[in-house]
Amino acid sequence: MTARRWRLDLGYDGAAFSGWAAQPDRRTVQGVLTEAITRVLRLPDPVQLVVAGRTDSGVHARGQVAHVDLPADTSADALMHRLARVLPDDVAVHRVIPAAPGFDARFSAVWRRYTYRLWDDASRPDPLLRRHVTLVRDHLDIERMHVAARTLVGLHDFAAFCKPRDAATTIRTVQWIGVSRAGDAAGTVEVGLRADAFCHSMVRAVVGALVAVGADRRSDRWLAEVLSSPVRHSQVIVLPPHGLCLEEVGYPPDDQLAARAAEARAVRTLPIPTPHPPSDQDHA
């Protein structure tokens, strides 16, 4: 059988899923999609899905991307139509297209963008939003949060904010963090983060730390002190998963996909500071 790689763009409400990755006796996004694709195409063996961001239990996705190798004669339109009929209503495949040469949904990505939504108003949020915003008891100073977040932008070791995993690096490049109030809901605070990749629980921990600053429970300097920790910081609170959504995944031009995948597979390291020659001021 000749195979061809396909790109899938999808979204899901993570409330009833135990995350993306397939697990025995657990309902997962990967498990549901694998079963559906294998069944509608009547394949002899389960398909192997690779995803851009392995979301945790309860985390939502609006712009998730995956790839799967299927028979070359697969019809994208037919697959879309059949999946729409069999998938549950909390997961949807928005697009199926042939993947460009060298495309890897995980390793070809140059960034992932998440939004964490908080509710800091004295009133209750719209009941339709209750599974997508996290309530905080303090009114948040979003300008202070926005300024403090600059400490985290750039190439850093984010071990202080990550759940450790064997042989996994915690070095990441955070490209942007923004904090704002949603225009259509005065009590909703949106914390947006974009990075080349995120380690396990990193986004929820970073937002938890920013909330502590925005609520004036921690000083602005505290965030820099946390970042310097070589291990998970005990004072950082990891927020619940339901406020988090994967919004979008970015990829380079098609002719750079394979090179980006090779680069992403390499182990990340922090640059070694270049020593400067001694000067009179050094001995003052």
Q: Judge residue 95's burial from the number of C-beta atoms within 10 Å of its C-beta, 0-12 exposed, 13-18 middle, 19 or more buried.
A: exposed
Q: Which residue has the tokens 């996290």?
A: 134
CB–CB of 132/242 below 8 Å? yes
Which of 90, 97, 28 has the alpha carbon at shortest distance from 254?
A: 97
To the query of whether residue 56 is one of the catalytic residues in this protein, the response is yes
Which of 180, 60, 190 has the alpha carbon at shortest distance from 132?
A: 60
Q: Are strands 111-119 and 244-250 parallel, antiparallel or unpaired?
A: antiparallel
Amino acid identity at 69: D
Q: Of the listed 56, 104, 120, 157, which one is catalytic? A: 56
CB-based burial, 144-182: b 16+ in 10 Å, e otherwise:
bbbebbebbeeebbbbbbbeeeeeebbbbbbbebebeee
The CA-atom distances, in angstroms, between 177 and each of 15, 152, 194, 241 are 25, 8, 7, 18
Q: Which residues are catalytic?
A: 56
